[in-house]
Amino acid sequence: MRKKRKGLNEWTLCLLIAVSTAVFMFIFCWPVKVDGVSMQDTFNPGDRLLISRLSALGGYKAGDIVICRILQNNVRKTAVKRVIATPGDRLVIENGIVYLNGNAINEDYIKHSHTLGSVDITLGEGEYFIMGDNREESYDSRAFGLVRKSDISGKVFFRWFPFGKIKIY
């Protein structure tokens, strides 16, 4: 009887550890694989990232890299993009330069030195304007419009692969 109880306790402990690990992964560090070139040179196809779903509680700020759901060719896709403007911001894209609340923003992370398109918009509550860092190859808010906070799954906080490019964001 004692041996049976010990075995039951070990199984209970293993089950508790498995459930705790799953909950931890779901909330704190969900793995994502980069698919596509819209975030080059920041991320390349095949890069592996971890996102925090908990970051949604505090909202997102300009410059954050997020995972979101977008509609492309009538198909829901998951995309990695950078937040450019947040609720209440006025965003203007003119002559290849991005202005946020009247100030040109420094975008040293973009692949090309300019941003195509023309935009003049003030974001409402719960709305985000997102773009890829590879502006010439990115399907983003310039094409499909604003993203709702509810469509953002989380914020990228760590690249763990390739191993030579490990980085905390």
Question: How is the chain classified by DSSP, letter by letter?
Answer: -HHHHHHHHHHHHHHHHHHHHHHHHHHT-EEEE--SSTTTTTS-TT-EEEEESGGGGT---TT-EEEEEEEETTEEEEEEEEEEE-TT-EEEEETTEEEETTEE---TT-SSSS--S-EEEE--TTEEEEE-SSGGG--SHHHH--EEGGGEEEEEEEEEESGGG-EE-
Enzyme catalytic residues:
38, 81
